[in-house]
């Protein structure tokens, strides 16, 4: 692992690090905010998964999570959204290829060699973090925005016991039923739609739910609302009688202005469960 940069922030440090990943078979970069409390021992961990076109930098620089995480004594991990590099497959469209990993393990050419973002987030990066930083991996929570909200919800429901809480900002809730999802899932996983269900939070909610609290914020003026399909997740949670808070925020769109507005709420929500 190589240290790219470390900056003092809110009494703690905001670092950027790179490493060679065994799962994505390329160099990966991530951000990690450590609160001041990490100097005295392991601290709880909040994962933030970003959306389409993003790198580790977008949320790290725009979401405002560090200030609220510092208040709560929580570390925040900002992974990249996909493998990258000259030898990594890509596409001219913004919603496929580099910057659009969709947090799945691809099985189809030309994506299968590098696009293993599920294993990267679930196994590879957590192991690296535990080996190198003062993090309490028994206390983890996860959140994300858009494509990252999709990833946060699907990982949380598929890895029981891993995360104490999950939240999302404008997540892609029903990718098997919308253009944002069907295109990518078929490209990465093939045409057998039964293999897509493991990456659809609405279907997972109906099938297994989440053993904990769920918070979702969605802007009413989100330009991608029809592609996100929050109503599918709400209906599935209602059918399962899952504990969930889904808030339609009047007038807000899909931008980081929306995310940063409600970031304090999400960090506080996770702190409540990480310190329970």
Active site residue 222: yes
**Residue-by-residue DSSP string for 45-107:** EEEEE--TT--HHHHHHHS-HHHHHHHHT-EEEEE-SS--STTS---SSTTSBTTB-TT-B--
CA distance 43 to 137: 8
Answer for the pair 69, 265: CB distance below 8 angstroms, yes or no: no
Q: With 0-12 CB in 10 A as exposed, 13-18 as middle and 19+ as buried, what is 26?
A: middle
From 114, 145, 254, 270, active-site residue: 254
Tell me whether residue 201 is one of the annotated catalytic residues: no
DSSP state of 115: -
Helix, strand, or coil (residue 275): coil
**Long-range CB contacts (within 8 A, 24+) of 211-214:** 211/160, 211/161, 212/156, 212/163, 212/164, 212/165, 212/166, 212/243, 212/273, 213/165, 213/166, 213/243, 213/244, 213/245, 213/269, 213/273, 214/153, 214/165, 214/166, 214/167, 214/242, 214/243, 214/244, 214/245
Say which of 21, 82, 146, 201 is annotated catalytic. 146
End-to-end CA distance of the chain: 33
212: alpha, beta or left? (left if phi > 0; alpha if psi -120 to 50):
left
How many Cβ atoms are within 10 Å of 204's Cβ, its own excluded? 20
Q: Is 18 an active-site residue?
A: no
Q: Which of 80, 95, 217, 222 is catalytic?
A: 222
Q: Which residues are catalytic?
A: 146, 222, 254
């Amino acid at each position: 692992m190589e240290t790219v940069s470390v900056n003092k922030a809110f009494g703690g440090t905001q670092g950027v690090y790179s490493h060679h990943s065994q799962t994505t078979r390329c160099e990966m970069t991530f951000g990690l905010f450590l609160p001041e409390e990490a100097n005295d021992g392991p601290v709880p961990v909040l994962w933030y998964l970003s959306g389409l076109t993003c790198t580790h930098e977008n949320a790290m620089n725009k979401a405002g999570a560090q200030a609220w995480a510092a208040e709560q004594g929580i570390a925040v991990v900002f992974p990249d959204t996909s493998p990258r590099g000259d030898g990594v497959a890509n596409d001219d469209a913004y919603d496929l290829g580099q910057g659009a990993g969709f947090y799945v393990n691809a099985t189809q050419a030309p994506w299968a060699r590098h696009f293993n973002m599920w294993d990267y987030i679930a196994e590879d990066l957590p192991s690296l973090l535990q080996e190198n930083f003062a993090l309490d991996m028994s206390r983890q929570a996860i959140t994300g925005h858009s494509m990252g909200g999709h990833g946060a919800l699907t990982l949380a429901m598929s890895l029981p016991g891993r995360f104490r809480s999950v939240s999302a900002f404008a997540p892609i809730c029903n990718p098997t039923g919308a253009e944002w999802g069907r295109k990518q899932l078929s490209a990465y996983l093939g045409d057998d739609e039964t293999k897509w269900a493991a990456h659809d939070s609405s279907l997972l909610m109906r099938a297994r739910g989440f053993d904990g609290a769920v918070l979702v914020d969605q802007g009413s003026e989100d330009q991608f609302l029809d592609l996100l399909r929050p109503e599918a997740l709400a209906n599935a949670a209602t059918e399962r009688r899952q504990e969930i808070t889904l808030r339609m925020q009047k007038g807000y769109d899909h931008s980081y202005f929306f995310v940063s507005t409600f970031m304090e709420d999400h960090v506080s929500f996770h702190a409540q469960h990480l310190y329970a």
